Amino acid sequence: MPYYIREVLFFILAIFQDFWWLLFLFLLGGFFINLRKQHKAEVKKEKEAIKDWAVLEVKINREILQTPKSIEQVFNSLNVIEKGCLCLEIVGINREMHFIIRTPQEYKNLVISQFYSQYPELEIKEIEDYFTSVAPNLPNKDNDLWGMEINLSKADCYPIKTYSAFEEKKEEKRIDPIASLAETLGTLERSEWCIFQILLRTLSKDEEKELSNEGKKEINKLLGKKETIKITWTDWVAAFFRNLLVGLVEPPVWPEKEEQKEKSSSEISLSDREKIQAIEKKMGQLSFKTGIRVLYVSPRSEFEESKAIGFMAYLKQFNSKDLNAFEINKDTTTKLKTKFFQARRLFLKKRKFYQTAFQRKPEKKSMILTTEELATIYHFPAVTMKTPTLTRVLSKKSEPPIGLPTG
């Protein structure tokens, strides 16, 4: 071994003997950081644990004149919910389309009042959970199921196509995208079920900050700015040890900020301008941490996996090539990538998925949608939409006459 290499090794060993305790300090710090994260996760889980739930069914009057803007206002009001998970569901049962809301019991009156504030003609009543009319565990010898969860294809800061893109000035020309979903449910047999779940949780301050930082990062990228890397004390410590080890053969290098260069206005394409405007708009709206899940249940003799894919066809309407799009999370589908013990593993995966949907457990991977985006995919059909699958209230509510005797 050459003399100079031996000297470098002895030098490194001497440095390690004198500063080994710094390595121990870093490991100990990492341990305490992980411990703190676990504690915060447990506290959050305990906070969100809800024992009493209310299941509400919303029945629609024959005349829904409001646009999705009304239900966007409802979602804005419900953004104050801090505990548990609000679950919005569109359910196809007996070839009929039902709107179901599952909410923590303590927020039941809040949810009802906010829907009535924008839709006074609705009829909302508490019902028994419809899952109780299905077998407690599926699949079984008589029934099979298929399920999937949905995610966004790009970063959360990019929005999907919202309801304003479907609106026309003339009432008769207004397109209601939910008509596609109603027709999909109309193709089901009476013995088949299709359930479209949207799980909503209010963002924490840390999650809001993370979304804002993500949006700024994407805007800077579109503007041609280099990503600003924040220099911390750990960077200086790492640079110190690096310079100490290689200082004999290389000049020392210390952390420094890079100068940012921004594109001129003429260099920014029209497409990038629209993206920036869309991201900024989404950053300025209230949002929910969201999960979307689809479940299809059918007797084995009538089972057709393609019927559940109709929900994906419904969501495709909101995809934007330049912005964001919905896609299937392939890790959550009731399919297997390998054939090793396929039958047993598939059975267990389907049963686990069914229990997850039944108990409205959190999704495997969440996304962030604004109240406008949620109003786009979950709203009550307009009066122009006529389909036999939609159950409506035949009567119309009105105020009691003045002077009605009370005793």
Q: What is the DSSP string of 250-318?
A: S------PPPP----GGGS-HHHHHHHHHHHHHHTS-EEEEEEEEEEEEEGGG--THHHHHHHHHHHTT
Within-domain flag for 247: no
Burial 321-358 (b: 16+ CB within 10 A, else e): eebbbbebbeebbbeeeeeeeeeeeeeebbbebbebbb
Q: For each of the chain's 407 residues, which pLDDT tens digit applies? A: 566 566 667 767 777 677 767 777 777 888 888 888 888 777 766 665 688 999 999 998 767 888 899 999 999 999 999 888 999 999 998 888 999 999 999 999 999 999 999 999 899 999 999 988 887 889 999 999 999 999 999 999 999 999 988 776 555 556 788 888 888 888 888 899 999 999 999 999 999 999 999 999 999 888 877 666 677 767 777 777 777 666 666 777 777 765 555 555 555 676 888 999 999 999 999 999 999 999 999 999 999 888 878 888 899 999 998 899 999 999 999 888 777 888 899 999 999 999 999 999 999 999 999 999 999 999 998 765 555 555 555 445 555 555 555 54
Report the alpha-carbon distance of residue 76 to residue 330 in Å, rounded.
31
**Residue 102 lies in domain:** 51-207+274-393
Residues 108 and 7 in one domain: no
d(CA 284, CA 401): 44
Q: How far is CA 291 from CA 119, 155, 195, 367, in A?
A: 25, 15, 14, 6
Say if 385 falls within a structural domain: yes
Query: Can you give the pLDDT at residue 3?
Result: 60
The tokens describing 338, both together, are: 């390998």
- Rounded-to-integer distance, Cα 103 and Cα 25, Å: 46
In a domain, 230, yes or no: no
39, 90: one domain? no
Q: Are residues 35 and 129 in the same domain?
A: no
Note whether 23 and 88 are same-domain residues: no
Residue 42 sits in the same domain as residue 64: no
Co-location of 156 and 287 in the same domain: yes
Q: Are residues 21 and 154 in the same domain?
A: no
Is position 258 within any domain? no
d(CA 163, CA 69): 8
- Take residue 317 and report the two structure tokens written for it: 């309407």
Decide if 235 is inside a domain: no
Q: How buried is 146 (Cβ within 10 angstroms: 0-12 exposed, 13-18 middle, 19+ buried)?
A: buried
| Per-residue pLDDT, 174 | 64
CA distance 270 to 142: 56
Instruction: Give per-residue pLDDT as tens, 62-103.
Output: 678 888 999 999 999 999 998 889 999 999 988 889 999 999
Q: Does any domain span residue 112? A: yes
Q: What is the DSSP string of 176-245?
A: -THHHHHHHHHTS-TT-EEEEEEEEEEPPHHHHHHHHHHHHHHHHHHHTPPPPPPP-HHHHHHHHHHHHH
For residues 293 and 334, is the Cβ–Cβ distance under 8 A?
no
Tell me: do 90 and 142 sit in the same domain.
yes
> Are 144 and 285 within one domain?
yes
Domain assignment present for 251 = no
Whether residue 165 is found in the same domain as residue 137: yes
Whether the Cβ atoms of residue 315 and residue 149 lie closer than 8 Å to each other: no
Alpha-carbon distance of 228 to 251, in angstroms, equals: 25
Q: Which two tokens stand for residue 53?
A: 């739930």
Nearest-angstrom CA–CA distance, 339 and 218: 40
Rounded CA gap, 23 and 5, in Å?
A: 24
Helix orientation angle between 233-246 and 3-48, rounded to the nearest 10 degrees: 160
Q: Does residue 80 form part of some domain?
A: yes
Q: Total domain count for the chain?
A: 2
Q: How much is the pLDDT for 312?
A: 86
Whether residues 188 and 298 fall in one domain: yes
CATH code of residue 66: 3.40.462
* pLDDT of res. 112: 97
Q: Indicate whether 161 and 22 sit together in one domain.
A: no
